[in-house]
Amino acid sequence: MHKWIVTTAAAAVLAALAGCKSDSSDDPAPAAPAPTPTPAPEVVTPDRINLSLIGRYSSGVFGESAAEIPAFDAANRQIFIVNAQKGAIDILDASNPAAPVLIKTLTVEDIAPGAVINSVAYRDGLIAVAIEADERTQPGYVGLYDATSHTLLDSAVVGSLPDMLTFTPDGQYILVANEGEPSDDYSVDPEGSISVIAVSDRTLGTVSSASFSSFNAREAQLRESGVRLYGPNASGAQDLEPEYIAVSADSTTAWVTLQENNALARVDVATATVTDVLPLGLKDHSQAGNGIDASDEDGVINIRTWPGVVGTYHPDSIASYTAGDQTYLVTANEGDARAWGEDNDLYWAGDASKGFVEEFRVKHLVHTGGFDRRAGEDLPPQLRALAAGALLDPSVFGYCGATAADPGDCRADDQLGRLNITWVDGYLKDSSGAPVLFDASGNQNAAGDRLMYSQLHAYGSRSFSIWDADGTLIWDSGDAIEQYLASDDCRLGSDRSIPCATYFNSGHDEGDAFDSRSDAKGPEPEGLALGKLGDKTFVFIGLERMGGIMVYDITDPRAPAFVDYFNSREDWILDPETNLAAAGDLGPEGLLFVPADASPTGEALLVVGNEVSGTTAIYEIEQITE
């Protein structure tokens, strides 16, 4: 419970009396007593915190992203939540957080017909929205609205597919991550960029673009450093795709996740310049504490280490904070595969011009019969152009039975066979980047037609990480998230009564789905928010697939501590699509911390948009001192 020192208005009364003169103009005015200092409210630092559900608004729409990114206006006590199904912002009255009510829907047809909203941010009576054009490869927009009247104040053109935006802490700029995704058949591939928009007098000023054009002659250098550049026929500027933005406390520097590229961009805000592209490296799943559950069909929880398997961090959300006068970055390492044209039959029939899909199961990659057995089903034509099949390096994968010519038990369903990986990385290459080829017997042979994989690159790292300002890894949660979900301590539901292990690694859109996500990205940490409570900094992390919010104390960036896990999904058995009202909250996407001094209840809150259930959940943060 918060403790506050109660103050009075005595000082103000004395000051007013001191300004009154005596009735006799000959008498000197009496000396005013010194004003009594007003004590500041006591700042309480909690020993621990707990989340509890206090309110929920439901759009009633399942699986259509009807609740994604939230923003909050403390003055009007309103929540703005991106409703992608409507392509709009739902405005909720949150005066009573126990019963938020939809009061209005804000559309952007007045800016661009057919456009949809991807992100929202609030500051000082202004709402900023990121707007994707009707054709996503075309330039998008930013709209600026009055937070009280909800009227349009100004708009500006930005880059292709503005996916996220934020105000700088000083309020002088809006920064926009323009992802620049390609068309579904990859025939059009816009450049990614970061727009820097000046804000003054409630209008949008100059729009500057921090582009990646200066990296176009440096693709080989970026690849060598570990940046993933692999889009077909793409320049560096086309292949780098900004996702999410964090800004330094002094508003001078921004860091932008380049999710598919497994990297960060560092941006000088004043000059709108990308100064660095920082590769994040790979997570070694052979190391103790970095295990994963790799199979969705073994019927058990099996979190273990896997030599030769690495994780690409692929962060989605990012936030920054200061500790010991240094800036640190926190990322939720969701993982993301490029899968363009996956619904196009012509692509799967072998027309590489119709898309690009990089995901493949290990069991299909290293089958002794080669790739052609998958033709017409899920064989990417770009992979088939490289080789007719693939092998596992026996010096790495001998532990699961691989020989030079045969993957052995490594491709079994209860081993690595079900794991989804990218075929783009991990095979042996020569100095020019071309594949080193082997024959079907596993002998290196220039006339061979087999790739040799010495690493298997899985998506995401099933963790959250803390990095320094140069993109150097300071701390990673390892396999702690999966381990906790498998433990007896973990409980589900708003009453915390359901054992997590019963529904370990469940999907967010299905009922009774034990272990269904283990072959993919596990619990899939995606969204995050930071909150300052007293002298401590906490991170709240949304697990997109398993659902729920992990809470860690990250005050010391080198020694974060687990604090809480809360999951307000209520029913884990019934199909949520047909039993949405009973389901609770599914698929947390965007998270927002509301400090106590801005909260309608006087207690700190966490607002979460859940894209699968279409619900906006409001959690109270109980601060406990012992």
447 inside domain: yes
415 inside domain: yes
141 inside domain: no
Residue 188 to residue 234: CA distance in whole angstroms: 10
377 inside domain: yes
202 inside domain: no
- Which pLDDT value is given to residue 13? 34
**For 439, which DSSP code?**
-
Yes or no: say if 305 and 318 are a contact pair by the CB < 8 Å rule.
Answer: no
Return the bridge partners of 196, or none.
175, 208
- 7-to-35, 40, 208 alpha-carbon distances in Å: 14, 9, 48
| Measured CA angle at 368 (ends 367, 371), to 5 deg | 60
Q: How many residues does the chain have?
A: 626
Spatial CB neighbours of 219, under 8 Å, sequence gap ≥ 6: 229, 235, 236, 239
Tokens representing 34 are 């010194």
Residue type for position 32: A
Yes or no: say if 197 and 243 are a contact pair by the CB < 8 Å rule.
Answer: no
Exposure of 617 in the CB half-sphere (CA atoms within 13 A)? 31
Spatial CB neighbours of 68, under 8 Å, sequence gap ≥ 6: 81, 82, 83, 84, 589, 590, 609, 611
- Which pLDDT value is given to residue 354? 96
Ranges of the chain with pLDDT below 70: 1-42
368 inside domain: yes
Strand 420-422 relative to strand 473-476: parallel, antiparallel, unpaired?
unpaired
Yes or no: say if 192 and 238 are a contact pair by the CB < 8 Å rule.
Answer: yes
* pTM for the full predicted model: 0.93
Tokens 């979460």 locate to 608
413 inside domain: yes
- Extract long-range pairs of 365-372: CB within 8 Å, 24+ residues apart: 365/390, 365/421, 365/423, 365/453, 366/390, 366/391, 366/392, 366/407, 366/410, 366/411, 366/453, 367/407, 367/411, 368/405, 368/406, 368/407, 368/440, 370/440, 370/449, 370/450
- Which pLDDT value is given to residue 258? 98
250 inside domain: no
Give the number of other CB atoms < 10 A from CB of residue 2.
Answer: 16
Domain that holds residue 390: 340-458
Number of domains in the chain: 1
